[in-house]
Amino acid sequence: MGVSAADSLLAVMSFNAAYARVIDDDDLERWPDFFTADAQYRITHVENVRDGLAAGMVYADSRDMLIDRISALREANVYERQRYRHVIGMPSVDLLEPGVLRSHAPFLIIRIMHTGEMTVFASGAYHDEFVQDEGSDLKLRKREVVCDSTSTDTLMAIPL
Amino acid sequence: MTDTAVISFAGSVCSDESRGPYPVPPVDWPRSDYSRVPYWLYHDDRIYHAEQERIFRGPTWNYVGLEAELPQAGDYFTSFIGDTPVIVSRDPGGQLQVVVNRCAHRGAIVRREARGNAETHTCIYHRWCYGHDGRLVGLPFLRGVKGKGGGMGPDFEKAQHGLRRLQIATYAGVIFASFSETAESLADYLGPVFLGHLDRLFQRPVRVLGYQRQRIAGNWKQYLENQRDTYHGSLLHEFQSTFGISRVTQEGGVTMDAHHRHNLTWAKTATDDEGDFTELYKKDRVHDSSLRLQDPALIQFHREWDDGISLAICGIFPNLTVHQISNSLATRQIRTTGPGEFELYWTLFGYTDDTPEMTDHRLLQANMVGPAGLISMEDGEAIEIVYRAICGDRQANQVIQMGGTGPITDLRHRVTDMPVRGFWAYWAQIMGVEPEGAVR
């Protein structure tokens, strides 16, 4: 990457802050832009990962699938009005290979229902691989969202 | 204390009906064909406890897991039958075993891990140690401390204090257990249609791809209804009808067993006319979606069976749904935690001889199911909004009459919720609360 460890850390933190804001502000159409065209995005939980089981809650291997998920949420899926508040912690960042940053960042997601009910919906960690696009912005080529709990309350509509 | 209250290795615990702690309150059915069902049956505590006793711990066969989850001797996993915790295992001799996961001493949960491999099961509380078959093999201080006394006394017999061992039957690698020694055989319980369907789905050895758990704040019976109300699918789940995964215009139907307790809803993709579909769904102003997929790999159906069936939702009373939605395969086990809450335990699977491409395709299609499923995410919510609205009501009834009233029959279409009436007919029978002139 040719940048210092501190620069990498700041870049990933700034990326995660923007990512959280897009989801929490219901600006979901912009969410796929954080990924490369051939990105993998998974949501699973610790036991599936521990047992080497590939299936989770969400399994996408292209940015188009993320676009499709948002279109489906907007046009087809029916769910109670709700939003998230992401709190993404300090990532650990290292260089996986030239041009690829690997990062682990813990997260906490509060779900706020239209009724005012507020719950800890998910906690876990993002297991990420970042690359730089032409404009030298970071893009995710892989984000594996590993939830700490094996159980989901009612439904998971909005991405984590 | 009478013998019937003792949990013994020999089994046979259930007290006779007159002494049963949970009598079923009388049910005043508005109609004898179950086209009206009182809301209080969903949220009444007495009903819930009686159901545990008469249904889940009664003469039924409950799904507990797949043989593929226990490849090695000593493998075990924990599961539930209704709200009773159980351990399902392959003992060191290779035999399958299902025992109640509750220590015969003070009633603690014995095995707390989700899965593992072990020679024995030991309770943490006082270290009572059991074999896979539930036999009590040892306990500390059985004879007391030398020179100081103590111990369990001379009349304590280990053979009388095992984990409750359940009846087991498997079919095509699917494991069922029963609390009842007088339950009909599994083959009779399932009947030819459902044996045939399990053959169809489990003809090749299976491999688990992953697990999902989903908590739903509603009554477990609502989920059985949801699975048997086949016409909600194309209305609630717009994703499904838009992409032709399930539409009432397709060739399809509902098939039940002789008691109407199990149901198979099936459909064949691409057997309808796009114009007919659009006209019907537009005329009834259901939806007019402009949704298009950028990456249509998700909805492709690779034909795996000669029958051409692309959607098969199979509900086996009381706690199992097995689905084939295109090439996505999963079992869904209901675990109740009270009248107003249950968990769905999803086991996604494929076949051991799947090509890597097919495994990948099944993983992609898993996006359609489960709590984040593009198709099935709405079911949990539909159940919750019903439960929230009915949970204080002791007077009103719900309406179940799409497909007509009166006798309960199989159909060659899916504009129906008749299997929901079939479910209630069997529920009333097993609970002992059938109305006069009840349809069965």
Range in B40-54, B139-153, B267-281 with the lowest mean pLDDT: B267-281
Size of interface A-B (CB pairs under 8 A): 123
Q: Is A154 on the interface with B (CB under 8 A)?
A: yes
CB contact under 8 A, A152 and B210: no
Q: How many CB atoms lie within 10 A of CB B122?
A: 18
Please check the confidence at residue B1 and state whether its pLDDT lies above 60: no
Question: For residue B286, what pLDDT is reported?
Answer: 62
Contact B239, B375 (CB under 8 A): yes
A42/A57 Cα distance (integer angstroms):
8
Please check the confidence at residue B55 and state whether its pLDDT lies above 70: yes
Q: Is B295 on the interface with A (CB under 8 A)?
A: yes
Torsion of CA B250, B252, B254, B258, to 10 degrees: 170
Q: Find the length of chain A.
A: 160
CB contact under 8 A, B289 and A153: no
Backbone angles phi, psi at A122, to 5 degrees: -155, 145
Please check the confidence at residue B19 and state whether its pLDDT lies above 70: no
Backbone angles phi, psi at B193, to 5 degrees: -65, -40
Q: How many CB atoms lie within 10 A of CB A106?
A: 15
Question: For residue B297, what pLDDT is reported?
Answer: 85
Closest alpha carbon within chain A to B380: A154
B241 three-class SS:
helix
B73/B66 Cα distance (integer angstroms):
15
Which residues lie closer than 8 Å to B107 by C-beta, 6 or more apart? Answer: none
Q: How many CB atoms lie within 10 A of CB B424?
A: 27
Q: How many CB atoms lie within 10 A of CB A126?
A: 22
Please check the confidence at residue B17 and state whether its pLDDT lies above 70: no
Question: For residue B104, what pLDDT is reported?
Answer: 97
CB contact under 8 A, B239 and A57: no
Q: Which has more pLDDT, B153 or B285?
A: B153
Question: For residue B416, what pLDDT is reported?
Answer: 86
Question: For residue B388, what pLDDT is reported?
Answer: 93
Please check the confidence at residue B231 and state whether its pLDDT lies above 90: no
Contact A74, B229 (CB under 8 A): no
Average pLDDT over residues B65-83: 98
Closest alpha carbon within chain A to B242: A76
Sheet containing B136-138: order of strands: B121-122, B129-130, B136-138
Please check the confidence at residue B13 and state whether its pLDDT lies above 50: no
Helix (H) or strand (E) holding A97, with range, is strand A92-97
Q: Is B236 on the interface with A (CB under 8 A)?
A: yes
Question: For residue B287, what pLDDT is reported?
Answer: 60
B205/B351 Cα distance (integer angstroms):
6
Q: Which residues of B92-116 are buried (b: 16+ CB within 10 A; e: fewer)?
A: eeeebbbbbbbbbeeeeebbeeebe
Question: For residue B285, what pLDDT is reported?
Answer: 59
Contact A147, A44 (CB under 8 A): yes
B173/B168 Cα distance (integer angstroms):
12
Nearest to A64 among B213, B239, B294 (CB): B294
Please check the confidence at residue A47 and state whether its pLDDT lies above 50: yes
Q: Is A117 on the interface with B (CB under 8 A)?
A: no
Average pLDDT over residues B348-356: 98
Q: Report DSSP letters for B9-66, one per residue.
A: TT---PPPGGG-S-PPPP---S-TTSSEEETHHHH-HHHHHHHIIIIITSS--EEEEE
Instruction: Give long-range contacts, CB 8 A cutoff, 24+ apart: B196-201.
Output: B197/B264, B197/B312, B197/B314, B197/B322, B198/B171, B198/B172, B198/B174, B198/B322, B199/B172, B200/B305, B200/B307, B200/B312, B201/B172, B201/B312, B201/B314, B201/B322, B201/B324, B201/B329
Please check the confidence at residue B8 and state whether its pLDDT lies above 50: no
Confidence of residue B3 (pLDDT cuts 50, 70, 90): very low
Q: How many CB atoms lie within 10 A of CB B55?
A: 23
Percent of chain A having pLDDT more than 70? 98
CA–chain centroid gap for B365, Å, is 22
Question: For residue B264, what pLDDT is reported?
Answer: 95
Chain A residues in contact with B370 (beta carbon < 8 A): 57
pLDDT digits (tens, 9 = 90+) for B145-184: 888 888 999 999 999 999 999 999 999 999 999 999 999 9
pLDDT digits (tens, 9 = 90+) for A70-100: 999 998 888 889 999 999 999 999 999 989 9
Q: At what angle do helices B220-228 and B377-390 cross, to 10 degrees?
A: 130
* B365's tokens: 């299609």
CB contact under 8 A, A56 and B343: no
Q: Find the length of chain B.
A: 440
Q: Is B72 on the interface with A (CB under 8 A)?
A: no
CB contact under 8 A, B380 and A154: yes
B163/B439 Cα distance (integer angstroms):
40
pTM above 0.90, yes or no: yes
Question: For residue B283, what pLDDT is reported?
Answer: 66
CB within 8 Å of chain A, chain B residues 136-175 = none
Closest among B326, B68, B61, B309 to B172, alpha carbons compared: B68
CB contact under 8 A, B298 and A68: yes
Mutate one of B69, B77, B212 to test the A interface: name it (highest A CB count within 10 A).
Answer: B212
How buried is B288 (Cβ within 10 angstroms: 0-12 exposed, 13-18 middle, 19+ buried)?
exposed
What is chain B's mean pLDDT, rounded? 90
Q: Which residues of B230-269 are buried (b: 16+ CB within 10 A; e: fewer)?
A: bbbbbebbbbbbbbbbbbbbbbbebbbbeebbbbbbbbeb
Range in A2-16, B53-67, B94-108, B164-178 with the lowest mean pLDDT: A2-16
Question: For residue B2, what pLDDT is reported?
Answer: 36
Closest alpha carbon within chain B to A40: B364
Chain A residues in contact with B242 (beta carbon < 8 A): 76
Confidence of residue B130 (pLDDT cuts 50, 70, 90): very high
pLDDT digits (tens, 9 = 90+) for B374-408: 988 888 889 999 999 998 899 999 999 998 899 99
Confidence of residue B413 (pLDDT cuts 50, 70, 90): confident
Please check the confidence at residue A37 and state whether its pLDDT lies above 70: yes
CB contact under 8 A, B371 and A155: yes
Please check the confidence at residue B5 and state whether its pLDDT lies above 50: no
What is chain A's mean pLDDT, rounded? 94
How buried is A77 (Cβ within 10 angstroms: 0-12 exposed, 13-18 middle, 19+ buried)?
buried
CB contact under 8 A, B213 and A151: yes
Which amino acid is present at A5?
A
Torsion of CA B357, B359, B365, B370, to 10 degrees: -160
* B115's tokens: 């899965």
Average pLDDT over residues B35-42: 97
Question: For residue B251, what pLDDT is reported?
Answer: 86
Residue indicated by tokens 């009612």: A154
pLDDT digits (tens, 9 = 90+) for B76-123: 999 999 999 999 999 999 999 999 999 999 999 999 999 999 999 999
Percent of chain B having pLDDT more than 90? 73
Backbone angles phi, psi at A15, to 5 degrees: -60, -50
pLDDT digits (tens, 9 = 90+) for B232-248: 877 888 777 777 677 77
